[in-house]
Amino acid sequence: MIRAPAPAKLNLALVVGPQREHGKHEVATVLQRIDLGDRVALSPAPRLMVEGYAGDTIVRQALEQLAAAAGVAPRWRAMITKRIPIAAGLGGGSSDAATALRLANETLDQPLAAAALSTLAARLGADVPFFLESGPQLGRGDGSELTPLQLPQDYWIVLVLPHGVAKESTATVYRRFEERDGVQGWTSRLETLEGALARIIRPRDLAALPANDLAASPLTAELVRLGAFRADVTGAGPAVYGLFRHRRQAEAAQAAVRAAGRTWLAVPAWYG
């Protein structure tokens, strides 16, 4: 049996533009792993089995597609141990799929090259290729076209999953974006993002990144009041994060917002 962590991610920025030819929107997003994560274990099996999370579809799809690409039968047993909250904007399913892909690819007599594995991952979902890479990345196109970023990693993260707030479907989130004519100002917001990235040296410089175009939460203002130098929603939500310079400050903020939802204290992670 082989096993590996499957870390969650934050969208430290998410700027959304017009629809592309295939119907997906143009995005520019800053992706950062954190040390909150699931765990994926893989072992040989007479047939494909995915256990531990009854709601999984993406890990199964990932392993089926890898087997088809490699010309082998999908004879793996994948065990998923969930810690990342489901449907929260933290990329748990994508991370599980990428981790299963990487582990299964290592078992092949002729493993797929990194580029081929990334192409396969992109067919599963826009976030999946990110979890095959190391370090923070700028995602462009539909989010799967990646460029490495050098970002500070020395800060603390308070995550909050608000009580009573369910994740909306991606289609609903983007429809609301279009109804409010959210694409207006895309070029300006993109320039703001690119300019901010060029000037980031210290953790506090992350505060200059533009706010999430798809989702907002009143909890972000509360986290800033409690000392966060940046707070926003990750992905399409509903999870909210606050970034803090010092652990003691982050712990105090976590305690202060605990009544609002489930909370976690985390730090950035470079790889799984």
Report the alpha-carbon distance of residue 193 to residue 17 in Å, rounded: 13
* Residue 9 among the catalytic residues: yes
pTM of the model: 0.95
Q: Given this model, what pLDDT does residue 19 score?
A: 86
What pLDDT does 272 receive? Answer: 67
Give the pLDDT of residue 38. Answer: 98
Task: Give me the residue label for tokens 């800033």.
Answer: 224
pLDDT digits (tens, 9 = 90+) for 64-81: 999 999 999 999 999 999
Q: Which of 38, 127, 142, 232 is catalytic?
A: 127
What's the confidence (pLDDT) of residue 22? Answer: 75
Domains of the chain are 2-148 (3.30.230.10), 156-269 (3.30.70.890)
- Looking at residue 271, its pLDDT comes to 83
Give the model's pLDDT for residue 110.
Answer: 97
Tell the burial category of 42 from Cβ atoms under 10 Å away from its Cβ (0-12, 13-18, 19+).
buried
Phi-psi region of 95 (alpha: psi -120 to 50; beta: other; left: phi over 0): alpha
> pLDDT of the chain along its 272 residues, tens only?
999 999 999 999 999 999 877 778 999 999 999 999 999 999 999 999 999 999 999 999 999 999 999 999 999 999 999 999 999 999 999 999 999 999 999 999 999 999 999 999 999 999 999 999 999 999 999 999 999 999 999 999 999 999 988 778 878 888 888 888 888 989 999 999 999 999 999 999 999 999 999 999 999 999 999 999 999 999 999 999 999 999 999 999 999 999 999 999 999 999 86
Measured N-to-C along each axis, helices 114-124 and 92-107 cross at an angle, to the nearest 10 degrees, of: 140
**pLDDT for 20:** 77
Residue appearing with tokens 């991370």: 95
One of 9, 38, 142, 167 is an active-site residue; which one?
A: 9
Alpha-carbon distance of 104 to 109, in angstroms, equals: 11
